[in-house]
Structure 1
Amino acid sequence: MALIKSVRGFTPKVGKDCFLADNAVLIGDTVIGDECSIWFGAILRGDVNSIRIGNRVNIQDGSVLHTLYEKSTIEIGDDVSIGHNVTIHGATIHDGALVGMGSVILDHAVVGEGAIVAAGSVVLSKTVIKPGELWGGTPAKFIKMVDPEQSKEINQKIAKNYLMYSKWYEEE
């Protein structure tokens, strides 16, 4: 069973039909929408500020979400995929975005709707990635625009797949 821990008077809230892996950790001021999946070893640490997650979001194995005390929050829209071992620290990720495996997104960065952050990228503080852009590298830089329909198809497919994967665990 996932560890769900209250701190400073805040208790995590989880929407309907969510999958929380046995060793996922949700702490404090963390609110998760419906049909989300929080995978093995993922930590959502809302102890120092708020974490807000939309619907149909998957946060994959080993990812860590945290904020700065009284300075930054995390806001993640709907249909977002956060790859394995991603660190998000006080950033905003808009609807339909994809953050590739091993990426780091720092405080006050913004990832636009349908944008893609390539695996292993480091998105520096206050960086703004516009809708439909592909960014990659260390530090992350603009690579190209992604066809909006192609981006939507890829990102929604991943989000739907993770919803399907989470249902497999209900059967066991």
Structure 2
Amino acid sequence: MTAPRLLDFEGTFPRLDSGVFVAAGAKVIGEVQVGADSSVWYNAVVRGDVCPITIGERTNIQDLSMVHVTSGQFPTVIGDDVTVGHRAIVHGCTIGNRVLVGMGAIVLDGAVIEDECIIAAGALVTPGTHVPAGSMVMGAPGKVVRALSPAERADLLRSAAHYVQMARRHGGPTTQMGGIGASTP
């Protein structure tokens, strides 16, 4: 028997819109809303236990990533067409639309990442940081190093669209009960 992918926390279950894929080994827990055609990949954890988490449409949370919140202070809000790279940590922050959080990057409590940004692999966005739209952030602590090019901005949408297709290839939508192959209500 496979372990459930969607878990309640104190009676609150995650809510998935249509076309959401939650891979084997991934866990979505508690007060979490996941938008249409989004995906949570192998062994990623999205834990809405002490504040809510909202994930927009066509957003992908890749393998081994952690999305969490700060008790009573900071929910996590992730916009549409966002790519959260492998082994990233997104904690109690707000991420706009069409953003790439690179592999191993960390975005901490109260940070706000506006639309069309890239947080480079391994970057550390410290608590309370505000990143303006169209920025590239690198380093630890993370600093805005330049504006994104038009090609980089276009790549943000391509990345999100690629993961929508990959989710279909990996088994399609997850039901509210954690199974594969049926649409959510």
**TM more than 0.5:** yes
- Partner residue of 2:81 out of 65, 73, 79: 79
Q: Secondary structure at the match of 1:170?
A: coil
Query: Any gaps of 5 or more consecutive residues in structure 2?
Result: 173-180
| Partner residue, 1:157 | 158
Q: Is the 8 A contact 1:62 1:85 kept in 2?
A: yes
Name the Cα RMSD after superposition.
Answer: 1.4
Q: Distance between the aligned counterparts of 2:167 and 2:5, measured in 1?
A: 18
Aligned counterparts of 1:129 and 1:105: Cα–Cα separation in 2: 11
Length, aligned pairs only: 171
Which SS does the other structure have where 1:7 is aligned? coil
- Structure 1 range deviating more: 1-10 or 156-165: 1-10
8 Å contact from structure 2 (residues 7, 30) kept in 1:
yes
**Normalised TM-score (structure 1):** 0.96
Q: TM-score, normalised by structure 2?
A: 0.89
CA contact (8 A) 1:115 1:151 kept: no
Alpha-carbon separation, structure 2, partners of 1:26 and 1:145: 34
Q: Does 1:54 align with 2:56?
A: yes
Percent of counterpart pairs with the same letter? 33
Partner in structure 2 of residue 119 of structure 1: 121
Partner of 1:135: 137
